[in-house]
């Protein structure tokens, strides 16, 4: 057996209703493109559902096309987009 990835979930009980979050899905780069994202996402969602959560969310980088395609295929919709800015000082 070898670890090829993981799904880290969070439960936000300070919201109404409580919110489940898929915080991180990480897959060994040598296993990218092997279809592991979908089952790992579904496993995380199943765990959150077992905790009684009916609402879920996740963050993903906008340029992570494979992950965005996986989440869209699973029925996720974009809620909002964050932007990050950088200022270099001389």
Q: What is the pLDDT of residue 11?
A: 97
Domains of the chain: 5-59+67-73 (3.40.630.30)
Q: What is the pLDDT of residue 71?
A: 94
Give first-to-last CA distance, the chain, whole Å: 51
For the whole prediction, is pTM greater than 0.85? no
**Torsion angle of alpha carbons 27, 66, 74, 24, nearest 10°?**
40
Measured distance CA(26)–CA(24) in Å, rounded: 6
- Whether the CB-CB separation of 44 and 25 falls below 8 Å is answered with yes
The pLDDT tens digits of the residues spanning 40-61 come to 999 999 999 999 999 999 999 9
């Amino acid at each position: 057996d070898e670890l090829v990835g993981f799904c880290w979930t969070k439960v936000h009980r300070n919201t109404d209703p409580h919110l489940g979050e898929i915080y991180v899905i990480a897959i060994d780069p040598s296993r990218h493109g092997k279809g592991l994202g979908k089952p790992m996402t579904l496993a995380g969602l199943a765990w959150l559902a077992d905790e009684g959560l009916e609402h879920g969310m996740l963050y993903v980088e906008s340029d992570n096309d494979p992950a965005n395609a996986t989440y869209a295929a699973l029925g996720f919709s974009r809620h909002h987009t964050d932007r990050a800015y950088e200022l270099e000082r001389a």
